[in-house]
Structure formats: C-alpha cells, structure tokens
Structure 1
Amino acid sequence: MRTLVDIPDDDIEWLDRKASEEGKSRAAVLREAVSAFRAEASKDWIARGAGYWKHRQDLGDAVDYQRAMRDDRDNG
C-alpha cells in the first residue's frame, strides 16, 4: 500500500543521507523505521524501562534509602 506523508525538508535530507549510507531506498529506510517503532511501542512501558538506571552510581541503594526514611520517621 502506498501512503503520502508530509515530512519536513531537513528530515528528508537526513533520510536521504541515511538511505545513501546504507545503500537503500528512502522507502526501505522508512519501512524499517516503522517496523522498529512498532516493535518498541508494543512493549510494556515497565519492561522498556527496566534496568534503565542500573549503571548509575549516584543514586545509591533503594532499600538503604527506604530504611533511612523509616528510621527518620520512627525516631524523628
């Protein structure tokens, strides 16, 4: 099926560069992008975000934080 869409000129320029780099047509790159978007959009938002912060060192341990908050509440 053919579809007509309006895409800003700068996005078309990027799309054409990407297609050229990959040796594909503009339409092929768009089809792949839609497929990838659909695959990602169908995932549960919790599953998509799971582990997002696992490598952050600045957040500390969530259980330690909860214990500190409870201690503060109980001893405050």
Structure 2
Amino acid sequence: MSRILIDLPDAQVEELAVLVEAEQRPRAAVIRDAIEAYISLHKRARGTEVFGLWKTRKIDGLEYQQELRSEW
C-alpha cells in the first residue's frame, strides 16, 4: 500500500471528521472508500459514453467500415 499526501480545505476536513465519528472508522478507511466510489463511478461513465453509439444510425457498423476501407 502506498502513501500519498493531499491538501484538503478545512471545511472538507471538518466534514470528514463528522463522518469518521459517526461511522466509528479510521479516517484513512473512509477516504479509501470515497476514492474507490469515485473510481467506480468514472469507470462506468467511460463505458457508457460509447455503448450503443450506432443504435440511431441507419447503416450497419460493419458495412460502414467496409465502405470506408474501400476508399483506400
């Protein structure tokens, strides 16, 4: 496990302290969970950006690819 140093605004540190106290968990564990949730959210977002991209097109994707390559 690696260590990193980050700067947080005082307001975030105070909110984090409230969460740590409420959950009775170490601050590092709460931060790790927050980072994992952020990464998971953005992994899903990246995948959905291209999923179904061709569904509104009138031409088949393979047909389109072959048409483009025929120009070469």
Q: Compute the TM-score of the two structures, normalised by the length of structure 1.
A: 0.57
User: Which residue number in structure 1 is paired with residue 27 of structure 2?
Assistant: 26
User: Which residue number in structure 1 is paired with residue 13 of structure 2?
Assistant: 12
Structure 2 alignment gaps of length 5 or more: 49-72
**Is 2:42 the partner of 1:41?**
yes
Instruction: Evaluate the alpha carbon distance shift between residue 46 and residue 29 of structure 1 in structure 2; reply closer, same or farther with a 3 A threshold.
Output: same
**CA RMSD, aligned part only?**
1.9
Q: What code does the residue aligned with 1:21 have?
A: A
Q: What code does the residue aligned with 1:33 have?
A: A
CA distance in 2, matches of 1:31, 1:46: 23
CA distance in 1, matches of 2:38, 2:21: 21
What is the CA distance between 1:26 and its match in structure 2? 1.1
Aligned structure 1 segments of 4 or more residues deviating by more than 3 angstroms:
44-47
Q: How many matched pairs?
A: 48
Instruction: Evaluate the alpha carbon distance shift between residue 23 and residue 46 of structure 1 in structure 2; reply closer, same or farther with a 3 A threshold.
Output: same
CA distance in 1, matches of 2:19, 2:34: 12
